[in-house]
């Protein structure tokens, strides 16, 4: 027997179908067989969109009863206090549409009073489950079901795609930059190598510049931009670039981070480099079309033998084709607009070209040096263990902190050599020997005058070895009093003793209260039994000179 539905169910099926619901969805919501739902939809279409008369069945043959049930359905669509039967629940889900959720035909959504809150949380990226959890907090007091929140959130999330807004730039305001695949290079041996084509387009006049390169390095990128500036004869105020790694170290729409060399380049030419939003090519639509224009018009199906040959072709193509064309949007010649309008609005070029250099992030070693090209260069002790930026150009090595503040500069050295500034050595790490003998003698003065005299005489007697002895003399102040040290130095001078061990011994004796030895002066004895008178020595000398026998021998021998 064919399934026969009540008039209320039939009206519900037709109402949901008129809202655009599929037979599968209606059957799932009403828990009916899909073929049954499809049959009633076909019957409704056959009746010229008029409600189909349901086959007679139990309780369904009475027209008055059918009208009564139909009126109940109508009341269920418009009355929020209607019953919770199988008819009303899907009907309420179907009839809350439009920008004003909860308003219109059908039962009002239980989450409609919180529509603005749900919309705000959707803008924050929250999902329906999280929104439901927040609404059930005492702050909002929502007591409805999760499904009501989910349905309302789904309808609020539906949006129509708005027309793309075309952006117009004032003369000299903006230029857009990008890379694309270039032509193949094929040498005489048949070896193929790919190239990249750089292109920059002034946004107002569409004046462009193209250059082929082998790699997309930072140096290649900045040099191409610089060549374009000199080709234009001026500098735009802003550069809109892609988030290529040659210039952008961290992509962020709100606060992008450029690599240090790109920042220095922008400061040199007084231009603002503005990376686009990641994965949003429409933000630089002019250059996206410009790259395709170069690839399809200038380079497609062309092969070159050298990079210079490809660049000569691109330069000629810019002058004869790209500059002379009537642009489809402006309806004017590109070169004419550039010459008369945009070129006078460009900023003047810098006094000189940007000095390219190599740079890299380096770690400061434990000895306070960074390694650059095999050589070592000092920085202040406060940077030990940190990462710093090093720039070198073959002549100088300049070192910067993370904020690109200069902290050191050295002449570049061959590999294996060290360049150390005295200002970068911590005072605690400078030995007394490095200070020199004059500094050490100045320190000895605090010990006393005798210590100073002993130190000076010791240096004259012992030479370079005496430098360490001076350091040892200074260390005695930690063990002996200044008086004991000076007494020991005086005694050592009297005995001509210039060894530190003797000085320590005498200082210890003096501090212990023991007397120090003195070098006494012996008086000359004129009279003694073994000493002859001076007159005899005079006669002896006279006789020796005249050849006479000495009279001194006999008495002397007798005495002996």
pTM value surpassing 0.85: no
| pLDDT reported for residue 529 | 64
| pLDDT reported for residue 1 | 43
Tokens of 556: 């002397």
Residue 35 and residue 11 in contact, taking contact as beta carbons nearer than 8 Å: no
C-alpha span between 164 and 523 (Å, rounded) = 121
pLDDT in tens, 253-271: 788 888 888 998 999 999 9
| pLDDT reported for residue 209 | 96
Rg (C-alpha) for the chain, rounded Å, is 51
Q: Closest Cα partner for 106 from 122, 127, 89? A: 89
Q: Which domains are assigned to the chain?
A: 1-108 (no CATH), 114-158 (no CATH), 174-345 (3.30.420.10), 358-427 (2.40.50), 432-511 (no CATH), 525-560 (no CATH)
| pLDDT reported for residue 164 | 65
| pLDDT reported for residue 89 | 38
| pLDDT reported for residue 52 | 39
E strand segments, 364-519: 369-372, 375-378, 387-392, 396-400, 406-411, 418-419
Q: Closest Cα partner for 24 from 34, 16, 11? A: 34
Each of the 560 residues of the chain gets a pLDDT tens digit; together they read 455 777 778 888 888 888 888 888 888 888 888 888 888 888 877 644 444 343 433 333 333 343 433 333 333 333 333 333 333 433 333 333 343 444 444 577 888 999 889 988 888 888 899 999 999 988 888 988 999 999 998 888 776 556 666 778 899 999 999 999 999 999 988 899 999 999 999 999 999 999 999 999 998 999 999 999 999 999 999 999 988 888 898 888 788 888 888 998 999 999 999 998 877 777 777 888 888 899 999 999 999 999 999 999 999 999 999 999 998 888 899 999 999 999 999 999 998 888 888 888 999 998 889 999 999 999 988 888 899 999 998 788 999 998 889 999 999 999 999 998 878 776 655 555 545 577 778 778 888 888 888 888 888 887 777 777 888 888 888 888 888 888 888 888 888 888 888 888 888 888 888 776 655 444 455 566 666 776 777 777 777 777 665 555 555 444 44
Tokens of 98: 């439009």
Q: Nearest-5° angle of CA 361, CA 362, CA 364?
A: 145
pLDDT in tens, 403-414: 889 999 999 999
Nearest 10 degrees: Cα torsion 543, 549, 555, 559? 100
- Residues whose CB is less than 8 angstroms from the CB of residue 111 and which lie 6 or more positions away in sequence, other chains included: 101, 102, 118, 135, 142, 144, 148, 149, 151, 152
C-alpha span between 313 and 310 (Å, rounded) = 5
Q: Closest Cα partner for 551 from 538, 559, 539? A: 539
């Amino acid at each position: 027997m064919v399934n026969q539905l009540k008039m209320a169910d039939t009206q519900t099926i037709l109402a949901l179908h008129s809202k655009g619901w599929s037979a599968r969805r209606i059957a799932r919501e009403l828990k009916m067989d899909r073929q049954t739902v499809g049959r009633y939809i076909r019957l409704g279409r056959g009746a010229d969109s008029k409600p189909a008369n349901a086959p007679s069945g139990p309780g369904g043959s009475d027209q008055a009863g059918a009208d009564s049930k139909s009126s109940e359905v109508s009341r269920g669509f418009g009355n929020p206090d209607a019953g919770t039967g199988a008819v009303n629940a899907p009907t309420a889900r179907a009839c809350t549409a439009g920008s004003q959720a909860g308003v219109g035909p059908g039962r009002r959504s239980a989450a409609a009073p919180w529509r603005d809150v749900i919309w705000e949380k959707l803008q924050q990226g929250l999902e329906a489950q999280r929104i439901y959890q927040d609404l059930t907090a005492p702050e909002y007091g929502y007591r409805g079901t999760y499904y009501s929140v989910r349905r309302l959130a789904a309808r609020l999330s539906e949006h129509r795609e708005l027309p793309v807004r075309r952006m117009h730039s004032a003369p000299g305001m903006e230029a857009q930059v990008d890379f694309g695949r270039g032509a193949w290079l094929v040498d005489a041996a048949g070896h193929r190598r790919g190239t990249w084509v750089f292109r920059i387009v002034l946004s107002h006049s569409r004046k462009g510049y193209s250059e082929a390169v082998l790699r997309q390095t930072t140096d290649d990128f900045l040099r191409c931009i610089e060549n374009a500036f000199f080709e234009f004869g001026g500098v735009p105020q802003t550069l809109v670039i892609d988030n290529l790694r040659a210039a952008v170290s961290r992509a962020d729409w709100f606060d992008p981070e450029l690599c240090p060399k790109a920042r220095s380049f922008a400061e040199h030419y007084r231009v603002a480099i503005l990376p686009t939003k990641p994965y949003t090519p429409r933000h630089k639509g002019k250059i996206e079309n410009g790259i395709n224009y170069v690839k399809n018009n200038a380079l497609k199906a062309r092969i070159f033998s050298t990079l210079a040959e490809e660049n000569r072709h691109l330069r000629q193509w810019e002058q004869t084709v790209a500059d002379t064309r009537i642009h489809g949007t402006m309806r004017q010649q590109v070169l004419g607009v550039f010459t008369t309008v945009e070129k006078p609005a460009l900023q003047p070029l810098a006094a000189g070209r940007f000095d390219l250099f190599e740079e890299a992030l380096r770690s400061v070693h434990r000895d306070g040096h960074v390694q650059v090209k095999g050589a070592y260069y000092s920085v202040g002790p406060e940077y030990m263990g940190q990462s710093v930026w090093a720039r070198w150009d073959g002549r100088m090595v300049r070192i910067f902190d993370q904020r690109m503040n200069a902290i050191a500069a050295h002449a570049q050295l061959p590999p294996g050599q060290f360049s150390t500034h005295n200002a970068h050595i911590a005072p605690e790490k400078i030995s007394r020997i490095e200070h020199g003998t004059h500094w050490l003698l100045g320190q000895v003065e605090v010990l006393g005058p005798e210590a100073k005299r002993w130190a000076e005489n010791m240096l004259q007697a012992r030479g370079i070895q005496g430098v360490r002895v001076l350091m040892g003399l200074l260390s005695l102040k930690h063990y002996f009093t200044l008086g004991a040290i000076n007494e020991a130095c005086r005694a050592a001078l009297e005995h001509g003793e210039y060894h530190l061990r003797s000085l320590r011994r005498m200082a210890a004796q003096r501090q212990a209260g023991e007397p120090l030895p003195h070098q006494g002066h012996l008086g000359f004895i004129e009279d003694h039994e073994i000493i002859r008178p001076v007159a005899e020595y005079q006669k002896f000398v006279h006789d020796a000179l005249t050849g006479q026998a000495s009279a001194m021998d006999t008495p002397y021998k007798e005495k002996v």
